[in-house]
Amino acid sequence: MFHHVKELQFNARVSKPDVRFAKLLLEQFGGPNGELKAAMQYFVQAFGCRKKAPDKFDMLMDIATEEFSHLEIVGATIQMLLTGVNGELKNAADESDLTKMLDGQAAKENYIHDAMVNPQFFLVSGGTPTLTDSVGNPWSASYIMGMGDLTADLRLNIGAETSAKMVYENLMNFTDDVYVKESLRFLMTREVAHFQMFQAALDSIQPNFPPGVLQGDPRFSNKYFNMSKGEDFKGPWNEGKSPLMGEEWQFVDDPHKRVRETNGLMDEKATGTDRTEKSVQTANKKVSASKKEKADKATAPKNGVMSWSVYQDKK
């Protein structure tokens, strides 16, 4: 269940109206990297691990709920930045308060131009925050990413927090309002915190690589194909040991030649690794059986009934 507390998580404030920045801030209200996207992504992902990983379910639900709190902060800030706009949209006088608020006639004309670019925000909604990005594209469930595998979902979430953090960082460059910057800095910092939470949760799952069940083909898991001509660069991505599997990177300097020599890589040999096709198939069966056992045990009906919540008998 959800319970709404009529206070913001952070004391959001603005010093004066700013229609232009309110429009930019819509990016974090209804955009692809915004707070609604994050809230819905973590909320949906949580369902898949309610029984199998109740600790991760708890974390995902907590963070999802906090993201709704952040959506409220963004929406409240947008509304404060539009102070006076709702009424003045109905005032056509050139010397209206809207003109003064926007620092002159030229600014008001720019505002009218912006309204034509994004009429849903300025005209249809009357200044109320809409579930769109900053240029008026409607929010879409296609923003939500989830694979049904916890290790994959946590990695997706780390990427989502990274993108959101960068958007807030960029937004801070477009306002001089110290109060608005305080709110943006808080929201940006919470993205950093969530990044670490998801990383810690991922690290607590062992093994967590590769995501899913099936292991990689040992012939290709440590091959680096040099797919471009010109100056070549070496680094931990193509020399030394691979960071997660500990295999020796094999640098293929001429991929076209290698493909022709190996019958389209069908005759490629596994080198630089202790893994073999036999060991891979053994691992596939072991991981598959282990995950199936955990899932079956977690979701098995009790006394012939499946219940999402467990209510303790206090009698």
- Tens of pLDDT, residue by residue over 143-157, are 999 999 999 999 999
Whether 208 maps to a domain, the answer reads no
Q: What percent of the chain has pLDDT over 90?
A: 73
- State the pLDDT at residue 127: 61
Q: What letters, b where the CB count within 10 A reaches 16 and e where it falls short, cover 270-306?
A: beebebeeeebeeeeeebeeeeeeeeeeeeeeeeeee
Bin 304: left if φ > 0, else alpha if -120 < ψ < 50, else beta. Answer: left
- State the pLDDT at residue 95: 46
Note whether 191 and 69 are same-domain residues: yes
DSSP state of 174: G
pLDDT at residue 271 is higher than 50? yes
Residue 312 confidence class, pLDDT cut points 50, 70, 90: low
Residue 90 confidence class, pLDDT cut points 50, 70, 90: very low
Note whether 27 and 111 are same-domain residues: yes
- State the pLDDT at residue 82: 85
Note whether 197 and 224 are same-domain residues: no
- State the pLDDT at residue 101: 52
CATH number, domain containing residue 128: 1.20.1260.10
Whether 103 maps to a domain, the answer reads yes
- Look at residues 203, 225, 250 and tell me which one is the last residue of a structural domain: 203
Whether 221 maps to a domain, the answer reads yes
Note whether 121 and 191 are same-domain residues: yes
Identify whether the C-beta of residue 56 lies closer than 8 Å to the C-beta of residue 201: yes
Whether 4 maps to a domain, the answer reads no
Whether 314 maps to a domain, the answer reads no
Whether 3 maps to a domain, the answer reads no
Name the residue with higher pLDDT: 83 or 92.
Answer: 83
Q: In whole angstroms, give the CA distance from residue 202 to residue 45.
A: 14
Range of the domain at 260: 215-279
- State the pLDDT at residue 248: 98
Q: In whole angstroms, give the CA distance from residue 21 to residue 223.
A: 48
Three-state DSSP class for residue 252: strand
The C-alpha angle with vertex 133 and arms to 100 and 21, in degrees rounded to 5, equals 25
- State the pLDDT at residue 1: 86
Note whether 30 and 132 are same-domain residues: yes
pLDDT at residue 43 is higher than 70? yes
- State the pLDDT at residue 310: 78
Residue 118 confidence class, pLDDT cut points 50, 70, 90: low
Instruction: Return the percent helix, strand and coil in the chain, to nearest 5.
Output: 50, 5, 45
Note whether 220 and 197 are same-domain residues: no
Number of domains comprising the chain: 2
Note whether 125 and 236 are same-domain residues: no
Tell me the pLDDT tens digit for each residue of 274-297. Answer: 999 999 999 999 999 999 999 899
Whether 140 maps to a domain, the answer reads yes
Note whether 98 and 226 are same-domain residues: no
C-alpha 5 chain-centroid distance: 25
pTM listed for this prediction:
0.86
Residue 110 confidence class, pLDDT cut points 50, 70, 90: low
Comparing 20-29, 241-250, 260-269, which segment has the lowest mean pLDDT? 20-29
C-alpha 255 chain-centroid distance: 35
- Look at residues 147, 180, 203 and tell me which one is the last residue of a structural domain: 203
Nearest partner of 221 among 197, 196, 203, 248, judged by Cα: 248
Contacts of residue 109, defined as CB under 8 A and 6 or more positions apart, other chains included, come to none
- State the pLDDT at residue 279: 97
Tell me the pLDDT tens digit for each residue of 212-227. Answer: 999 999 999 999 999 9
Note whether 161 and 78 are same-domain residues: yes
Strand intervals (E) in the chain: 223-225, 250-252
Note whether 46 and 93 are same-domain residues: yes
The C-alpha angle with vertex 213 and arms to 212 and 214, in degrees rounded to 5, equals 110
- State the pLDDT at residue 126: 58
Three-state DSSP class for residue 260: helix
Note whether 135 and 240 are same-domain residues: no
- Look at residues 176, 203, 230 and tell me which one is the last residue of a structural domain: 203
Q: For 224-242, what is the mean pLDDT?
A: 96
Identify whether the C-beta of residue 213 lies closer than 8 Å to the C-beta of residue 291: yes
Note whether 167 and 71 are same-domain residues: yes
Whether 141 maps to a domain, the answer reads yes
pLDDT at residue 98 is higher than 80? no
DSSP state of 121: I
